[in-house]
Structure 1
């Protein structure tokens, strides 16, 4: 498919319909698993779990999470606004840098690729609402399972280098980012995000490649912001404008969305919302089992290898522990690392099932600070359904 002219067809959305539960208010369990992959596929994508076609909301199935890099055509998709440009000409695409800078810039893609040092970073991209379906009562937003995440090798230029060319003024404290998606209703706010200047480091890049190819259209072609270790709400797609300011701007997607209670547990009661709130920023420690999948049948006395991925905000994964007795005892999985601290850590655990019937595998990641995934029952409720990282559980049947 030619990215210059994105296919102008639409798919029928398969919205997630959730039934009522018997859980009391404010409980958290396992995310909903087993949603069916759509029979249809968006351009440049394999069939994925589809929540909406406008804006596109696509989740990767559990089977994707057995490898260190997520294939581009199986990478999840999350847009906030429905009006996405159907035509992006890379030869004429530019990004503007303005505000508190010595020299305002309008830089073309060609200039980014030829006039700046090219860099790569392998990093996990995860929606802040990943696994939101674990929260009961239902938290507002897309009821993701555990597949609103992926890991890729991103190539581009350092944001710091672009801002240095423009010359940020001393009084600059905030950097705002805007993309080319627009709302269908004129009063809906644009998806604009801000970061503070102290959050800049050499890993924050403007990326035009993903796993050695041009960005897929639905993942932000031709240019997106990459902020390793941060939730994806900061990773603005189809980036068009960077504005440097001295003061924080009041923005819907900063002041209302992607915020959690500003208390020790980051939690609240459904009928008693906590104020004040704070934005979600750095990802917490998490693991997901990619194989086997829930409901699978496995053979008695077979040589089964549990596989999956773990990650955090860049602190680094120290261990992944596996339990087959509902968390009473734990054993270490074998780890495969090497793509950098912001990437997936792959894990494997060999097991020989010797009893017939139901068998559950639990995976718990622990990072180098000693932070570990909690049991689902120990995660407290928040109204946005953000930052879920409960111990992952997969149940199979031994036959």
Structure 2
């Protein structure tokens, strides 16, 4: 490494070690140069493939101009290379056991016919989405910003299923397990727990996505839908719901998918936080779907920027656009709110007055008054979770 590069790296590391935000010259946006694969996985369009085993597929930027993400363009995240390649629906059951009055073994047919069907439009997002922006680099998949999507989910309320089983007076926790099997017998399985008082009416066991059966890679035949929360709680291929008296220590809630349990949810590489908490509610975020880094526009041409914004459920109040690196901001036009948990479309008309590189930034504000921070204001965490720095895209204006 050359001396200049070493000094630059040392400066970045020192700043993070002190727990200070990085300056504008020391940060980067989430990686945006990944290429779409030439090949498509079953039921999917060609996507950005980080891995084929397990399947780790990211949606490219141009997907995010619409509030609804098509099933074929929807990202995929599995934890284990050992996933089922087929399911015999005739023998498929969801076991509801533990601290219940009557254990249930629900078939897909029973889930559809014996419970009131409900539909909710909600964003599904990996907790590590945009992880590639963190400096120093953290462990985990170096996602750009396409590990997210928004769909219309249809299924049965979790509350209704638990009511039919009947909860005992000692019931405190609900465990969810799926078919995401560990590759080795000692490796932990992806199991998630919710407190009884965290079970809201909008949490459903979904069997449809955008009016169709769930794609196999997105959890067929059913998955848990927890609107407003990151995807580690949305257990795929759900097979077991176990009600317990006490919290059961779990790797993915106690070690993985956790942030520092402090006010800023931050830490430093040399002083990782000892007290941790699971990631749950999503941060406010916006993302520009058009233009992309490959876009070329004409000078003085009328162009419409398009993108999506969302948060953990308070709803988007406005999305602001800047063409001067954040010095000034102008309001975009918001699309219809499909639900408080859904993508909210935004548009902004602009012109490039001269040729050359042109950069636009987007910043969302929610109904609580929370807004996205500048990228250099982001604080570090060792898992690279919950990144929500202001998005920017640089493209070219030509005469």
Query: Normalized against structure 1, the TM-score is what?
Result: 0.94
The answer to whether the 8 Å contact 1:68/1:343 transfers is yes
The answer to whether the 8 Å contact 2:253/2:277 transfers is no
Find out whether 1:397 has 2:396 as its counterpart.
yes
Task: Give deviations 1:368-393, integer Å, cap 9, x for gaps.
Answer: 00000000000011100000000000
The answer to whether the 8 Å contact 2:156/2:205 transfers is yes
Alignment partner of 2:137: what SS? coil
Alignment of 1:170-209 (within 5 A): 170-209=169-208
What CA distance in whole angstroms lies between the structure 1 residues aligned with 2:145 and 2:337?
24
Find out whether 1:24 has 2:12 as its counterpart.
yes
Alignment partner of 2:221: what SS? coil
Structure 1 counterpart of 2:330: 331
Alignment of 1:111-260 (within 5 A): 111-260=110-259
Structure 1 counterpart of 2:67: 68
Give 1:257 shift.
0.5
Structure in which a larger fraction of residues adopt helix: 2
Find out whether 1:386 has 2:374 as its counterpart.
no
Alignment partner of 2:91: what SS? coil
The answer to whether the 8 Å contact 2:157/2:203 transfers is yes
The answer to whether the 8 Å contact 1:91/1:110 transfers is no
Gaps of at least 5 residues in structure 1 are 1-18
Q: Name the Cα RMSD after superposition.
A: 1.3
The answer to whether the 8 Å contact 1:140/1:384 transfers is yes
What CA distance in whole angstroms lies between the structure 1 residues aligned with 2:168 and 2:326?
54
What CA distance in whole angstroms lies between the structure 2 residues aligned with 1:232 and 1:254?
13
Task: Give deviations 1:292-313, integer Å, cap 9, x for gaps.
Answer: 0124221101111000000001
The answer to whether the 8 Å contact 1:128/1:387 transfers is yes
Give 1:172 shift.
1.1
What CA distance in whole angstroms lies between the structure 1 residues aligned with 2:81 and 2:246?
29
Query: Number of matched residues?
Result: 381
Query: Normalized against structure 2, the TM-score is what?
Result: 0.94
The answer to whether the 8 Å contact 1:81/1:191 transfers is no
Worse-matched range after superposition: 82-91 or 154-163: 82-91
Give 1:91 shift.
2.5
Give 1:173 shift.
1.1
What CA distance in whole angstroms lies between the structure 2 residues aligned with 1:337 and 1:384?
34
Alignment partner of 1:239: what SS? coil
